[in-house]
Amino acid sequence: MIESTRRAVSRRRLLGGALAGGAALAAGGALGGCTSRADARRIDTDDRWRQFEGTTLNFISENTAPTAAIAANLQPFTDLTGINVNIVTLELSAMVQKVALDLASGQSQYQIIYADPYQVLAPYSKGLVDLRELADDPTLPGQSAEFGDFVPVQMDAAGRFGDDGKVYALPYDCPTMIWHYRKDLFDKYRDRMAAELGFDPMPGDDSTWEQYLALARWFTDNADEVDYGSGHQAKQHDSLMCDFSNVLWAYGGDYFEGGQEIGRLGAVDPGRCTLNSDTAIEAARVYQRLLDVADPASSTWEWDGLGAAFRAERLAMCINWHEYAADNESVLPGKVGYARLPKGPSRSANHYGGCGIGISGNTMPNERKAAWLFLKWATDTGTQLSNLSSDAGGGTPTRQSVYALPEVRAAEQRPSDMPNMLTASAVEQAWQPENSGLRPKIPMWNECDTAMYTQLSKMLVGDLSPDATMREAAERFDRITARGWVAAG
């Protein structure tokens, strides 16, 4: 990974050794003194923020950019509340295992949980607190009406499971896949490409995947500044499913019938898989063509590898998470542009990969109230604004009110001290319901994800045709969902 001079942190990469006042940022393992079942002590005070002064909470999170920024500047929370927070960060699968064990134990070693929608929220929603009860508690700051400030698609996808109105998590991070392109090269060759290709090459609302394919070929053949026109995160990994899904949805395919609703609110029984539909098969054919003209190393890259290759000036464009903008700007200042993804016959679909933070249902009454204070502070407008400028990285706001702030609006243009905001126009379009790409929020998604990227990998090495890939993937999905998931039942 090319080092960023801003020490920017990507979605799944955390700078080691970060310590904040009142917080210990650890790589895992037990936390001393956190297995006691004694409830937090409440102090008799009129200050609703300080009534649990002296409490210690434990927050388990994937090693993400927002958590890095919060850990590096946690002192304001401790000063506000008198509460100490220990932060444990792990790779996602290891974090999920610890959360599952903790919820099953009936204990609450970790009161605050990074609730990945697919690996925590969907299978374990019954083990999380309905946050509406805390938001409307008159003894605590906040009210559930404030939930309306979160981007609506994110509130549903990261915070809910089911249509009963319950809220299990507050949107905490919001990585979204958009089009990264070398604006300097597009500007340089724009007229020539337009004449030779027959369309305006500049990424915009009318850009299509077929045009993206033509642009990839053109840059590979004609631009000496880069080695290839495009690259993909096509390693046999979750990244391959993410990359392919954008094309699947754009061409009118989906994993299940009613896929957008299942992506927003979730389902225990999603019905039969629809990957064997004509539209899904056509999407697989297009995706195969995209990889045929991309950098051959694409099959070895996930999101970090792709981002590094783009910053190394190996590629003219790629599809990646928008939060790589900070890294791009530090290495290629002023040279990168951003747009929502190309459209297919159905729509433009931009994969949303955000998560929320919730509270373990095993917490004691006062303990969960103290945890609510952290959730409210961590997702507050002021905290999200601070994270945008953090030297330790930081994510992109999930509250709409942050985007309306004058200093944030100003940061959408260069020079910007909040480089992730250079993607604001693209992600604001991507988060519109008609443009959002949501994978199925089902308890069995982890197995389905593995089946999807395994089959796609076989297609990309020539072992399976696109038709066979999608038919076999659909069969595997149906076998997986037929087994159900006991934790959700």
pLDDT tens string 367-381: 999 999 999 999 999
Band (pLDDT 50/70/90 cuts) for residue 395 is confident
- Which pLDDT score is estimated for 208? 98
- Which pLDDT score is estimated for 79? 97
Residue 246 has pLDDT above 60, yes or no: yes
Sequence length of the chain is: 489
Residue 382 has pLDDT above 70, yes or no: yes
- Which pLDDT score is estimated for 393? 64
Bridge-partner residues for 336, per DSSP?
Answer: 182
- Which pLDDT score is estimated for 20? 32
Which of the two residues, 16 and 184, has the higher pLDDT score?
A: 184
Band (pLDDT 50/70/90 cuts) for residue 31 is low
Token code pair at residue 348: 């433009």
Average pLDDT over residues 271-294: 98
Residue 17 has pLDDT above 80, yes or no: no
CA 406 to chain centroid, in Å, comes to: 26
Least confident range from 58-67, 236-245, 260-269: namely 58-67
Average pLDDT over residues 325-340: 96
- Look-up: residue for tokens 């243009």? 413
- 336 phi/psi in degrees, rounded to 5: -110, 135
Q: Where are the domains of the chain?
A: 25-175+354-404, 177-351+438-488
- Which pLDDT score is estimated for 484? 75
- Which pLDDT score is estimated for 230? 98
- Which pLDDT score is estimated for 5? 29
The helix/strand/coil state of 116 is coil
- Which pLDDT score is estimated for 64? 87
Q: Using CA atoms, how far apart are residues 332 and 458, in angstroms rounded to an integer?
A: 35
Token code pair at residue 143: 């009210």
Band (pLDDT 50/70/90 cuts) for residue 3 is very low
- Which pLDDT score is estimated for 120? 96
25-175+354-404: CATH topology is D-Maltodextrin-Binding Protein; domain 2 (3.40.190)
Band (pLDDT 50/70/90 cuts) for residue 66 is confident
pLDDT tens string 183-196: 999 999 999 999 99
Residue 199 has pLDDT above 50, yes or no: yes
DSSP string over 366-395: HHHHHHHHHHHHHTSHHHHHHHHT-TT---
177-351+438-488: CATH topology is D-Maltodextrin-Binding Protein; domain 2 (3.40.190)
Q: Using CA atoms, how far apart are residues 47 and 160, in angstroms rounded to an integer?
A: 30
Q: Using CA atoms, how far apart are residues 456 and 34, in angstroms rounded to an integer?
A: 43
Residue 26 has pLDDT above 90, yes or no: no
Band (pLDDT 50/70/90 cuts) for residue 391 is confident
Token code pair at residue 439: 């994978």
Alpha-carbon distances of 72 from 21, 387, 398, rounded to whole Å: 8, 10, 19
Residue 1 has pLDDT above 50, yes or no: no
For the chain, give the mean pLDDT: 91
Average pLDDT over residues 427-432: 97
- Helix (H) / strand (E) element for 56: namely strand 56-62
pLDDT tens string 452-486: 999 999 999 999 999 999 999 999 999 999 987 54
Query: How large a percentage of the chain has pLDDT more than 70?
Result: 91
Residue 10 has pLDDT above 70, yes or no: no
Cα torsion angle, 426, 384, 121, 98, sign: positive
Q: Using CA atoms, how far apart are residues 251 and 31, in angstroms rounded to an integer?
A: 48
Band (pLDDT 50/70/90 cuts) for residue 394 is low
